[in-house]
Amino acid sequence: MGIFRFHQYQVVGRALPTSTEGHPKIFRMKLWATNEVRAKSKFWYFLRKLKKVKKSNGQVLAINEIFEKKPTTIKNFGIWLRYQSRTGYHNMYKEYRDTTLNGAVEQMYNEMASRHRVRHPCIQIIKTATIPSKLCKRENTKQFHDSKIKFPLVCRKVRPPTRRLKTTFKASRPNIFM
Amino acid sequence: MVFKRYVEIGRVALVNYGKDYGKLVVIVDVVDQNRVLVDYPDIVRGQMNLKRLQLTDFKIEIPRVPKKKTLAEALEAADIKNKWENSSWGRKLIVQKRRAALNDFDRFKVMLARIKRAAVVRQELAKLRKSSA
């Protein structure tokens, strides 16, 4: 597992108990944020859209980071998202192959930024799921569903083992055949 | 150019960049075009970018994502360790490591040995020249 920019948090919160409502409903959200503070803030943002409650008259009961259960197996992740483009809001469904959900979400953010110029504050993740291979929709993920997968590496990138040994000029042309 | 080394399940590769530099790993699954899941008896199974790997000529027979024990047995059966150390690439790496680990006294001994070898070669060459002249 590498360093992830986006961590998955589970935030549980409710409105503060008042005289009229002694036991308000408790809400739980799973969301992605760079740190816990931002996760709590996002929680209140989404909860305000579902229930008339603000951070000032509510309380976060628990916030836990969720880690990948099996980071050594490859899974197909489907991500449903809502994003804001220059002209309006759109929904999207994207598929990624990765070992961890955090990795797939990070791939999604990077891809949205590069392909659609959408920065991460304008993306809301609606739902994520691990998709079994049979139900994958995108050809790009389906092409790797081959138990006898085999492909050659066409052009090898010749690079020194550490960046310290990098030089601007080389004495001879590199051999890029793998 | 015909390709002989493929990215496939069971391909043995050498890590040539990063924290695991110089280690042999086995490709156990393919994530996508650029990343593969690699494993070896002494490392944790993880994903690695193909840019950090250099494929070797060796391939072992394993199922997709095998258990550590199965992987170790398959490596033993194919005798990858010995085959690697006897291959020209593997031998070169061993010699490189040995040379990098020499201390000053060792380098002095190497110098004396090289002078001795050169002297013997020159003697033989002189003999051959005399006999042909």
Are residues A61 and A84 located together in one domain of the fold?
A: no
CB contact under 8 A, B17 and A159: yes
How is residue A62 written in tokens? 């628990």
H helix intervals, A19-169: 36-50, 101-116, 139-142
Q: How many domains does chain A have?
A: 2
State yes or no: pLDDT of A151 exceeds 60: yes
Q: What is the CATH number of the domain that holds A136?
A: 3.10.20.10
Give percent of chain B above pLDDT 90: 90
Across B72-90, average pLDDT: 93
Residue of B nearest to A77 (CA): B31
**Nearest CB to B6; choose among A72, A151, A157:** A151
Across B79-88, average pLDDT: 93
> What pTM does this model have?
0.86
What ipTM was assigned to the predicted interfaces of this complex? Answer: 0.83
Å from A136 to nearest chain B CA?
Answer: 14
Cβ partners under 8 Å of residue A145, min gap 6: A133, A136
Are residues A61 and A108 located together in one domain of the fold?
A: no
State yes or no: pLDDT of A65 exceeds 90: yes
CB contact under 8 A, A149 and B8: yes
Across A111-132, average pLDDT: 96
Are residues A87 and A119 located together in one domain of the fold?
A: yes
Are residues A35 and A84 located together in one domain of the fold?
A: no
Q: Is the Cβ of A152 closer than 8 Å to some Cβ of chain B?
A: yes
**Nearest CB to A144; choose among B6, B8, B30:** B30
**Nearest CB to B16; choose among A153, A154, A161:** A161
Asked if the structure places residue A159 within a domain, the reply is: no
CB contact under 8 A, A177 and B1: yes
DSSP code, position B128: H
State yes or no: pLDDT of A1 exceeds 60: no
Supply the pLDDT for residue B91: 95
d(CA A76, CA A129): 8
Å from B127 to nearest chain A CA?
Answer: 39
Supply the pLDDT for residue A41: 96
Supply the pLDDT for residue A169: 94
Confidence at B1, pLDDT banded by 50, 70, 90: low
Asked if the structure places residue A115 within a domain, the reply is: yes
Residue to mutate among A1, A68, A74, A138, with most B CBs inside 10 A, is A74
Are residues A134 and A88 located together in one domain of the fold?
A: yes
Asked if the structure places residue A39 within a domain, the reply is: yes
Asked if the structure places residue A80 within a domain, the reply is: yes
Are residues A48 and A98 located together in one domain of the fold?
A: no
State yes or no: pLDDT of A2 exceeds 80: no
Q: In chain A, what is the greatest distance between 2 CA atoms, to the nearest angstrom?
A: 81
What residues make up the domain containing A43? Answer: 7-65
Asked if the structure places residue A2 within a domain, the reply is: no
Supply the pLDDT for residue A157: 86
CB contact under 8 A, A72 and B55: no
Judge whether A86 and A35 are in contact, CB under 8 Å: no
Across A35-52, average pLDDT: 95
Supply the pLDDT for residue A156: 87
Are residues A139 and A87 located together in one domain of the fold?
A: yes
| Residue finishing a domain among A18, A37, A65 | A65
- SS3 (DSSP) at B109: helix
The number of residues in chain A equals 178
Are residues A24 and A51 located together in one domain of the fold?
A: yes
CB contact under 8 A, B54 and A178: yes
User: What average pLDDT is seen over chain B?
Assistant: 93
User: What average pLDDT is seen over chain A?
Assistant: 94
Judge whether B13 and B56 are in contact, CB under 8 Å: yes
Are residues A120 and A90 located together in one domain of the fold?
A: yes
How is residue B82 written in tokens? 């010995």
State yes or no: pLDDT of A99 exceeds 90: yes
Asked if the structure places residue A100 within a domain, the reply is: yes
Q: What is the pLDDT of residues A23-38, one digit of tens each?
A: 999 999 999 999 999 9
